[in-house]
Structure 1
Amino acid sequence: MIARQLTLEDCQAVADLETQLFDGRFDAADLRALLGKPAFYGAVLPAADKPTTIHAYCLAYITSMQADIIAIGTDKTKQGRGFGRIILQHLIDVTEQQNVAEITLEVAADNMPARRLYDSCGFHVSGVRKNYYYRGENRCDAVIMVRQCDSAFP
């Protein structure tokens, strides 16, 4: 499978995954609006046999110096198959082509599979936002992670 840039036609499928994974932070209209922003970059990993089916996605803002991942996710029925790694590596490759100095993201402290993925892809913990995420009546910290890009300023 090959990751590619998000298109207008992908917005509803990605919004559906956002609802499945994160209670719908971004709906299709939000995603269409983001596509019009110059610093926005979205990527999807479509099914090899059905390009309209999206297995994973990544949404980011990329400037000349930094990329901020604002959302990344894999369909719950497809988790544990390496799709998250593929979509994350795609974003890393895009940022390296643009000589971005670093990539940042936030992840829930209790999301250990995602944290292991980010760690294995060169991210390190740079901070914590206490009680950032709601878990019903409970709260969970957000872990801020950063990856320095090797190709910045060759």
Structure 2
Amino acid sequence: MSVRPLTAADLPVLETLERELFGAGAWSAAMLAEELVGPGRWYVGVEVDGILAGYAGLWFDGDDAQVMTIGTATAHQGRGLGGVMLAALVARAREIGAASVLLEVRVDNEPALRLYERAGFTRLGLRRGYYQPENKDAWTMQLGLTSAQNGDAHE
């Protein structure tokens, strides 16, 4: 397993993964292409046996970083790929000086909630009606990266 930055050459596989994971809500190839080169965006993929098996993205606004997505192909879920990609995103957020990492996750996505909580994210609150048309709620979560947020005076 290896993590690497995504490039335009990855778009065909990304589009396939996006449709597999998000169905009708999947981004098009054009949207994915724009996202890969968007300002403040950083995307990585994880390969298993030389095949792109997952992808993750981070957006940085100059203060906080936000996890845009973490997706793993169905055949590779439960193998720790999400955790590897999340660690890469958090490391990148630290490198660029983000104060914290934020994300939103559906309340019914138990595997993702466990992943983020194991990584130290805390739940801030519910965002109602974010995921449409299902009207599911999303947890907003945060991982503090500064010493004040982590309670560490020596960082």
Q: CA 1:14–1:151 in 2, change beyond 3 Å: closer, same or farther?
A: farther
* Equivalent in the alignment of 1:87: 85
* Equivalent in the alignment of 2:97: 99
Structure 2 residue ranges without an equivalent (≥5): 149-154
Q: In 2, Cα distance between the equivalents of 1:83 and 1:140?
A: 26
* Equivalent in the alignment of 1:3: 3
Q: In 1, Cα distance between the equivalents of 2:30 and 2:147?
A: 34
More helix by proportion, 1 or 2? 2
Output one character per residue of 1:28-76: Cα deviation in whole Å (capped at 9) or x when no partner: 21121122322111110012x32xx211111221132111112111111
* Equivalent in the alignment of 1:143: 139
Q: In 1, Cα distance between the equivalents of 2:93 and 2:46?
A: 17
* Equivalent in the alignment of 2:126: 128
Q: CA 1:78–1:151 in 2, change beyond 3 Å: closer, same or farther?
A: farther
For these two proteins, the number of residue pairs brought into alignment is 148
* Equivalent in the alignment of 2:45: 44
TM-score by length of 1: 0.87
Contact 1:107 1:142 (C-alpha < 8 Å) held by counterparts: yes
Q: In 1, Cα distance between the equivalents of 2:122 and 2:58?
A: 18
* Equivalent in the alignment of 1:115: 113
Contact 1:12 1:27 (C-alpha < 8 Å) held by counterparts: no
1:69-84 matched pairs, under 5 angstroms: 69-84=67-82
**Aligned letter for 1:3?**
V
**Aligned letter for 2:59?**
Y
Output one character per residue of 1:83-138: Cα deviation in whole Å (capped at 9) or x when no partner: 00001101111111111111111111000010000000011111211233247xx5
1:35 aligns with 2:36: yes
- Identity rate, percent: 34
**Aligned letter for 1:128?**
L
Q: In 2, Cα distance between the equivalents of 1:151 and 1:38?
A: 27
Provide runs of 4+ in structure 1 moved above 6 Å: none
Structure 1 residue ranges without an equivalent (≥5): none
* Equivalent in the alignment of 1:59: 57
